[in-house]
Copies of this chain bind each other. A is one copy, B any other.
Amino acid sequence: MSPRGPDFRSLQSNLLRPLRSLSRPNLGYRSVFKPTRPLYPVRTYYGHITDSKMAPQLEPYFKKVDDLAESFIDRLRKAVAIPSVSADEDKRPEVVRMAKFLAGELEALGAEVQLRELGKQPHKEHLDLPPVVIARYGNDPNKRTILVYGHYDVQPALLEDGWATEPFTLSIDDKNRMFGRGSTDDKGPVLGWLNAIEAHQKANVEFPVNLLCCFEGMEEYGSEGLDDFIEAEAKNFFKDADAVCISDNYWLGTEKPCLTYGLRGVMYYSVSVSGPGQDLHSGVFGGNAQEPMTDLVRLMSTLVDGNGKILIPGVNEMVAPLTEEEKALYGPIAYTMENLYESLGSKTTIFEDKERSLMARWRYPSLSLHGIEGAFSAPGAKTVIPAKVIGKFSIRTVPDMDGPTVTQCVIKHIESEFAKLGSKNTLNVVEQHGGKWWVASPKHWNFSAAAKAVKEVFGVDPDYTREGGSIPVTITFEQATGKNVLLLPMGSSTDAAHSINEKLDRRNYIEGIKLLGAYLHYVAEEPIPKA
């Protein structure tokens, strides 16, 4: 089941979802909080409690996190030192070593751990996929159970790529920035959960939930094999999960934490036009052949205009209308056009204001022309008439766009434009792949808990953000478990994940450990919505 619209537009739809916790007796751990406020306090729009007070157990927990900060950094240092590059088959033993390191740490903390094999790597049958590390910490039926996801593999990194420091040695500078491959993506967040367990233990604070872990080792190489695994374990190892939390994205800006409740989907298309039996010399055949490249460029020019307006009939019509209520959400978000200009590397934006820019990224579709296969693409000059050219483009999708309907519109439009050309060439339009958009309810207790934790740790209300890109595992978890999924980032947008000099700020790491723990406490404390 995938949500069919942004849930802030319909709280009801969220409440209609079956919640296993509704049938759970309101006893046990949660009662120790002895809440002094009503079960349904006055909430802000996004549902976090305005009169939030620190849960009593958080103070000793936070203090212990501070006390253990250096050992937590040591743990990250050990993890960064393992070059678990999933894309490099020579590094596969390091990826496995990283899995075993994680498993060992979890076992030492008292978790029940399994290394689950996923079989051979597709198209590389001599290679075993790295195992998924799954773990359970706590098995109390009176506690909520939270399933957390992260990945322990990393992007490739070489000093000669331009790193200022050895990429697999954690290097902390005088601004407390911790440089190293995987620091922010995603070893820091993964270790955050382990550190939270350890700090609870050493602070003698009862862990507030049952924690299920799912840490994979192929995220940077397409999460090979993971979907089937999650699908299968949703009814087994993960069956107790009441909600899912993924810490593998980033704050929108650099200073303010956010909770992420939406992702755009993507539909990827190829349009091929072919005619001649082989590539031709333009001197000999120019003027004689109906050139496929001419047709293709004309077709591609009918898809989108320079200001990003999609010109394919029927596509924009599927987009959920913007309500005044939703529109009002964009103003307060900590983001500026300067942030956008900086990340873009230029001022060539479509919009001049933050609100419309964020909406364009998060809640409106976009169409990008990626390139052409089969044409001349090298530097220099070549007088070829390509015999077959394949244009590539994709559409980022949002609520309420339906993938198959988008594809129908695309094919109908391109075929209609091709017919207008009166060409003798052959057209073929193919959907290469499609991934759904995702929007969760930021009013769900899973988000409310995280919002309170942000307020507690950072002293501010979080921004509620969406992402323009896709994180496919999000939808996999939502569909397989039927539970709410929260994206709770630890790092910031300046961390250079996937780039040289990847880093995680000490503040983001240490306060992030507090955040994850506090989140779990508020999860435990969150009232059960009325049916």
Contacts and interface: CB of A to CB of B under 8 A. Distances in A.
Given A293-B371, A294-B306, A370-B383, A344 B469 contact: no
B433 A348 contact: no
A359 to B, nearest CB: 8
A350 B285 CA distance: 10
Interface stretch (A124-132, A153-161, A416-424): A416-424
Contact of A283 (B280, B294, B422, B470): B470
Interface stretch (A59-67, A238-246, A386-394): A386-394
B266 A345 contact: no
Interface residues on A, range: 35 or more
A346 B276 contact: yes
A396 B383 CA distance: 10
A264 B276 contact: no
Given A264-B283, A306-B421, A345-B278, A288 B357 contact: yes
A36 interface: no
Interface stretch (A72-80, A179-187, A295-303): A295-303
B382 A370 contact: yes
A214 interface: no
A345 B385 CA distance: 13
A394 B281 CA distance: 12
Contacts of A283: 264, 266, 396, 467-470
Copies of this chain, whole number: 2
A422 B308 CA distance: 12
A469 B285 CA distance: 9
Interface stretch (A99-107, A373-381, A475-483): A373-381
Residue of A347, A371, A382, A421 with most partner-chain B CB within 10 A: A371
A336 B314 CA distance: 47
A50 interface: no
Contact of A361 (B288, B392, B469): B288
Given A287-B360, A290-B350, A383 B276 contact: no
Interface in A419-456: 421-425, 432-433
A173 interface: no
Interface string A268-298: 1010000111101111111111110111011
Contacts of A377: 371-375, 377
Interface in A118-165: none
A398 to B, nearest CB: 10
Nearest to A384: B370
Contact of A344 (B277, B287, B364, B374): B277
A412 B287 CA distance: 23
B369 A293 contact: yes
A468 B345 contact: no
Contact of A276 (B286, B345, B360): B345
A36 B424 CA distance: 57
A291 B468 contact: no
B345 A291 contact: no
A340 interface: yes
A368 B387 CA distance: 12
Contacts of A421: 306
A376 B392 contact: yes
A204 interface: no
A378 B375 CA distance: 10
A305 interface: yes
A323 interface: no
A351 interface: yes
A345 B294 contact: no
A262 interface: no
Contacts of A422: 306-307
B370 A372 contact: no
Contacts of A264: 283
A304 interface: yes
B468 A286 contact: yes
30 contacts: A266-B282, A276-B345, A280-B344, A282-B469, A283-B468, A284-B469, A285-B468, A286-B366, A286-B394, A287-B308, A287-B360, A287-B361, A288-B361, A289-B349, A291-B306, A293-B371, A294-B305, A297-B301, A297-B369, A298-B305, A300-B301, A370-B381, A370-B383, A371-B372, A371-B375, A371-B376, A371-B382, A372-B375, A381-B394, A381-B432
Interface of A: 264, 266, 268, 270, 275-278, 280-291, 293-295, 297-298, 300-301, 304-308, 340, 343-351, 357, 360-361, 364-379, 381-387, 392, 394, 396, 421-425, 432-433, 467-470
Given A287-B365, A287-B468, A288-B351, 18 more contacts: A282-B396, A284-B469, A286-B366, A287-B364, A287-B396, A288-B350, A288-B360, A289-B350, A347-B424, A368-B383, A370-B375, A370-B382, A371-B382, A372-B372, A372-B377, A373-B378, A373-B379, A374-B377
